[in-house]
Chains A and B, each alone.
Chain A
Amino acid sequence: MNYRKLVTIVEEIATEGGRPVDPVAKVAVVAAVFDNPWAGQGFVEDLNEGIDAVASELGALLAPRVIEALGAPLEAYGKAAIVGLEGEIEHGSALIHTLKFGNHFRDAANATTLLPAVEKRGPAGVQFDIPLKHFTDATIRSHHQSVEVKVSDAPHPGEILIALAAATRGRPQQRLAPLSTEQ
């Protein structure tokens, strides 16, 4: 998998709401920045060739890295596709909304749910929030959270940035009633 750069971000929250968080709540993000496989081709009707060339290899690159960066058992996860200004949002969606990509992460994390995602187009350095949900039950409210990301100098107009995110737990001071109490 050829990429221009790979960025790993780890956040450790030790205090929230003025109270200690122990053990710390960790969130890890790994992002790869690479050439848009459909750059310069105009409107490509059938995206399958590019998906087959990139999606599985990308998932295999990012999944073990984000799990290693987290360094503790994963409980919530998410993904992101940020397309440079000369591409289509559909190009980013094509690479992440396929089992060829997501199964690498699900299998490595013993996860079962679909990965929540953010897809957008933007200039280099655009800020985006990756949503995360529980890895085996997307209705578990305590684990709904997001992480703010900004990768400097990426994606260039002809590039795509794809990221995976993982968290060790739910929100640091989660204390909302579960969904079942309202149903």
Chain B
Amino acid sequence: MNPPLIVSSDLSTRSTLAGYSDIAAATGLRKLSSTVEEVPHENLGTITRATAMAVIANPWLGTGPDHDLSERTEAIAPLLAKLISDRLLEALGGVESVEAFGKAALVGSDGELEHAGALIHTPYFGNLLREALGGTSIICFADGRGVPGETLRVPMWHKNAAATRTHYQTMDLFLPDAPHAGEIAVIAAASSGPRPHARIGDRTTDRPVTSEILKGIQL
């Protein structure tokens, strides 16, 4: 039997990359997974994109739509943000490498869509993720009810300027064996760069476009 790990209780300064059995117990964590994709680029070096996912037991199983979700949200969501952002930062090599971000949650078939939303759409997750990844913009997202083995396309946009068209992108995440009916999968994604060959302008370079344009299109 190994002696218990001596760890700081101050999670703001503690890495959760190893020795996090206390956090796993507190969140009902079954598994964590991360996927990192590295694409060589002739001008940008390598574009690195990553997703990190925590699969937890749904803390609201068996409750109804009148149940207050705030207590468990405040207890669990910050811990998930910490586990997930630690892995994204490890994958991209630090906060300065993060240019785009996004998030997602899939609730298993015995849960409510609102359970997924509770864990990603409140400051207890979003603010911590934004702070850890060094961003200022609102975080784009996907949510829904899911079954094990599905593939989720996680959206991302620029972490400081959401309307920056070059950074609109998605990353596919495969969820083997998750989420079970009584679970929730909570996910975030980060990218070190734009789409590989972004060249569709920006709102600063677009001419004014309305439905008037349909009058001038020659077929």
Contacts and interface: CB of A to CB of B under 8 A. Distances in A.
A13 B54 CA distance: 10
B14 to A, nearest CB: 16
Interface of B: 17-21, 24-25, 28-40, 91, 149, 151, 172, 174, 176-177
Interface in A1-33: 3-16, 20, 22-24
Contact of A6 (B19, B21, B29, B38): B38
B68 to A, nearest CB: 26
A15 B37 contact: no
A71 B177 contact: no
A14 B32 contact: yes
Interface in A51-86: 71
Interface in A101-145: 125, 127
A interface, over-half SS:
strand
B172 A12 contact: no
A172 to B, nearest CB: 10
B87 to A, nearest CB: 8
B151 A20 contact: no
A15 B24 contact: yes
A11 B36 CA distance: 12
Contacts of A6: 37-38
Contact of B172 (A5, A8, A127, A153): A153
A20 B25 contact: yes
Contacts of B174: 127, 148-150, 152
Interface of A: 3-16, 20, 22-24, 71, 125, 127, 148-150, 152-153
B79 to A, nearest CB: 12
A14 B32 CA distance: 8
B179 to A, nearest CB: 13
A123 B162 CA distance: 34
Contact of B31 (A8, A13, A149, A153): A13
A5 B47 CA distance: 10
A12 B37 contact: no
A99 to B, nearest CB: 27
A148 B36 contact: no
Task: Kindly name the residue among B19, B31, B40, B149 whose own CB sees the greatest number of chain A CB atoms within 10 A.
Answer: B31
Contacts of A5: 37-40
B37 A14 contact: no
Contact of B32 (A8, A11, A149): A11
Nearest to A12: B32
Given A9-B33, A10-B33, A13-B30, A152 B21 contact: no
B50 to A, nearest CB: 9
Contacts of B39: 4-5
A20 B22 CA distance: 10
Q: Which of A6, A7, A14 has the most CB of B within 10 A?
A: A14
A148 B33 contact: no
B9 to A, nearest CB: 18
Contacts of A12: 31-33
Contacts of A3: 40
Contact of A15 (B19, B30, B34, B151): B30
Contacts of A7: 35-38
Contacts of A150: 151, 174, 176
